[in-house]
Structure 1
């Protein structure tokens, strides 16, 4: 039953452990050194000892060949003998348990073991009720096998490394595993023909067991140590004080995490300073904020209704211009009147919006928001990177034969200033941009590239946009004509930042699309959502002459 709200016992199962080979021995209790160092071959491990090197080597791979393979009869190429032995059969879990069940180890005190004992302790994992029923309890770590074997063979036997990659690929065809095992064994035998015995340490031998584990446990990428080792490399990179590496790693990790803080909701990064805006600039910025905050939408609709009732003979274009001119003052009076009544339903956000922003704004030369890193044009000129290009898509209202129609269009600009408006308890970041005029300065060539000409500056009366709704683009000079720039879409990296796991879900906006007044439409993607209002300019309004005279 779904949502039964009942208590239940959650159970977890340990499938296997993944470690380098020394840790393999620590967890399993098996001695991974000496004559019986292979825990899979166990007693059948072939490990002759080199007298002068004083080390055991792990050969005898001809046992894993098919019964009538010609290599079995080649004496001179190997150890001077025919090979009649067969590949050892790995012990099942219950058989291993019988070997370790009576081992008693008291930690912290000396313990006596038989000479050449295979197991030094009984692993705590045997306390799991299902552990002795598992065919593979500890996995061979392919990462360390590749590091110790494959990389040392570059330039000598590249095909061997290719076969290792086949065994460790994300997609495995079960029908090819037997052939892959035969190829690996044959290659190991060829190594025995040409390489000195000292080459065959335990890592080389473990390769012969990789296919077996792939058959039992599936693709290796689900149980290797690459991800953990890479991340350990990241953590070790934070070490600046070798005398206190643990504390150094903690400090470095916290510093790295703090760099992501604010990358989505907005955070100034470069050139912070306080500046005073002119009265008209501050009023335009405040009006832009009101147009785009959901809390102010009921007041916008009410103000438009009042204007329509008060001026019934005026056309829609005139009503919008009057709304743009008078709404800020009307909004302040309206909210303050509501606040004078007790009780009232005015929210905190609406209250501080009515009081308006501080006359001083915080200015930046760099700003991180929505997964992008933005710079002003001034900062771009000091940098080798370009981060000042922005674009946004807005709904535009066109007037044709007296009927307003809405279309989507794209705007392209360059950031000139970055401001944070301060509203006592919260702040709103804005970008002041230089915009290309869409009718004359934006076109799509025959190859489908969008070209922009910033010499045709447009929309000077509305340079501001909400920083949260800007997307980053890059402008590259057109080789055929320096006057034009080719627009390239920017990329952002937000997965994993502030718990974002789905970028498409993060991009979802409100269901109510805002609108724009008076710009010619341009083709944009059908699935592109708009979330922007552009209503405070008179440039480029299309309407019939008859309507214009009304």
Structure 2
């Protein structure tokens, strides 16, 4: 699909020979080859393919992407901006592009073309979820038939082979075998690669264990905004123990950190990543809006990582993230539920002052802008990541892992406009010698058969058939 939409020479299925088959197999007159008055063969550009200028913008966008460490390989090395292609992508690179980046990269296509491609991307994203529900799989089995039919109305017939038909059976395979991510080879390949690199790199970022009792005490201490005199007051001796008295003095030391590993994610502060190809500063946390709504998503970036140490024994340490939040209201955060796309307006910030969160509550995201949509220059797409080396199990009352559960929306619009002509009406010249096609002059000079000649041949063939039948009857009499 990528090679066809990007119109990669030698790999696209929308080639000249495919256009020759369209009059016979498809009702797409706007895509038929045209012959000019000077005997030049012209191929109308399809609306599902990009121009060279658009392809180069997409390549520049891929090259500028900054994704977290270990999430994917450096896609910037796979870019050839001169030819407008991506080359040398590994299977996992294609997997990430298909699931996460395809709806963003192809946003410049017409709406009726972009929607089916966004739906096929969401299909793979739901299929690869860590938790699959039977009712969602049943709905996916119905949707993939409709989505495939939409794509057949857009892409050339030569694109569809047994691999595209395989999508219909993947849902039934998931019903029998369970979530796909527990059956593929990426985990083992990553573990082997990590073992090979482990000897060369001795540096590892350490994370200190956190005491949940300490968290509760600190939150209680912040709730009172109380003073040390209140804690050490003899009247309150039964209320506060020595543990709470130690933290009431406040932290004795505060250390800043450039990186911190927690919850299977590797976080880095924003300034540390200025000259790097990766970005680990995207933060996502669940919270409330102060109006009894406790299921609000807060997205932001990480300027500082702080480690606080308190006096007394045992040693008490806690790590806090100081974050810059985007506006969580509808003016700064919106969701396209049909395609499961979340956007944040990076020019709008959270008005309230509430920058600190406990590191153990943070999850990681990264942001990508739209390469071909000037009307969405202020909006970034939020792409959530999964922790490395961990398997998250759904808890009945825990809503923090809902993004890992497949959420399938019914495909509503099953019909598609049949006009697939490019909006700019671009005509590309075709080399006739590659097809061995005659010109108009040569066509007139070709020999033609008269209608009587075809009839005589048919009559002759019928006579031969009669003779063949007589031979059979004679052989039966002889027996």
- TM interval, short-chain normalised: 0.3 to 0.5
Bigger relative contact order, structure 1 or 2, given CA contacts below 8 A and separation 6+? Answer: 2
TM-score by length of 1: 0.33
TM-score by length of 2: 0.37
Higher Rg? 1
